[in-house]
Amino acid sequence: MDEEKILNAEASHYLDEAAFASSLVSKKEREKGEVKDPSHMYPRSKGEADQMVALLKQAEAVADDAKEASFAERYATLRGIADWSLKRHKTWQWTLVVAALVGAAVLYLVQFKQQNDILQARADREQVAQWKIVRVGSIDFDVCPKEQASDDYAMRLASADRYKTYKLISLKGQALADSSQFAALRASYDSINAMDFKHIHEVALADLDAHVGSQESWGTLLYAYMVFLLVLIPIYIITGYPHGYTITRRKHRPGCLNIFRKVGIAVALFCLGASVASTLLPDYVVRNTSADGQTTEHKERKWFTAILLVVRLVLLIVGAVLLCLVASIVMTIESIGGLIDMFRKCK
């Protein structure tokens, strides 16, 4: 055995150099001449991987007995590391792609509804623009109601007088509810109360213009986010086949991302699952027995039914939003990293 080791001494020297080719090898390991952590032998760049391959070829070329057990085992280990580092590996996750598709579908539905809200906001603005000029009255603060009537909100756009009344009641309610802002709100009340048709019409148009702008901005944001997810999916998949040395270089980052992805998706799926499972809860059934012995049953809604519906809706929204956010954040980070690596290779 000693004689065999002497015969492969030069080849073993090249194997030692190959083992230290990676920049992950610590200074302490280099000083001791031994890589204790096998993961440190993995190259972090194409240059380091190519250097390892070149050293292995030199070791194989000068080896006196390439089949010698110790040499063959070390060579096979290092060759496996070099081959893995130079090959591409699939790193993209189906769960994230599906989550992004679900998020895009939810955004499409929300954005579709938002378009209806935008059309309604524009129709409301047009209704206000068509107001007929009429005399608008004033309401003394002391006699003004502090709460809106059941139809005040729905009818506020019917005329300048109804809109002025709606604004005055709202301001008085706010003033009485917040004593620290009473003076400012009372001043606003008096200002609105003194307005004639022209000025209250300008105020209403300004309010509706702001409302239309807000609805359109929200609709644009939803549409942009949906398109972003749809564009992100193919980029994420295309950049999801990095070389092994790239995976090694980014090994700490994917670790954090994997934890974020697993925890985020788990919480999202829990919320969605809990929302669906709540629909399976049995109804409260009341049995009544009549004098002749016949038993009848009927479902009775309890007070917690409304609360259950709210909780179900909240869980559904939270689950969908969280699923979409986790997918977009992880996929964006991975895609940016992949594009940077591709750009470096093209330089």
Q: Is residue 22 part of a domain?
A: yes
pLDDT for 76 beyond 60: yes
Q: Retrieve residue 346's tokens.
A: 């093209």
Give me Rg for the CA atoms of the chain: 36
Higher model confidence: residue 326 or residue 119?
119
Query: CB under 8 Å to 16, separation ≥6 — which residues?
Result: 33
Domain extent at residue 20: 2-86
The CA-based dihedral angle spanning residues 112, 217, 264, 100, taken in that order and rounded to the nearest 10 degrees:
50
Per-residue pLDDT tens over the stretch 235-276: 999 988 988 988 888 775 556 777 777 788 788 888 877 777
Report yes or no on 177 lying in a domain.
Answer: no
**Is residue 54 in some structural domain?**
yes
Statement: the pTM of the whole predicted model exceeds 0.75: no
Share of the chain above pLDDT 70, in %: 87
pLDDT at residue 272, as a whole number: 77
- Mean pLDDT, rounded, for 31-55: 87
Plot region of 293 (φ>0 → left; ψ -120 to 50 → alpha; else → beta): left
pLDDT band at 286 (very low <50, low <70, confident <90, very high): low
* 6 occurs within a structural domain: yes
Q: Please state whether 33 falls in left (phi above 0), alpha (psi between -120 and 50) or beta.
A: left
Q: Is residue 39 part of a domain?
A: yes
Which tens digits make up the pLDDT trace of 157-211?
A: 989 999 999 999 999 999 998 889 999 999 999 999 999 999 999 999 999 999 9
Q: What is the pLDDT of residue 213?
A: 95
Instruction: Give a yes or no: residue 282 inside a domain.
Output: no
Indicate whether 69 belongs to any domain.
yes
Angle (deg, nearest 10), helices 9-19 and 46-62:
170
Does residue 77 lie within any of the structural domains? yes
Task: Tell me the average pLDDT across 316-344.
Answer: 83
Decide if 136 contacts 158 (C-beta within 8 A). no
Residue 346: the pLDDT is 56
Tokens matching residue 331: 């996929």
Domains in the chain, number:
1
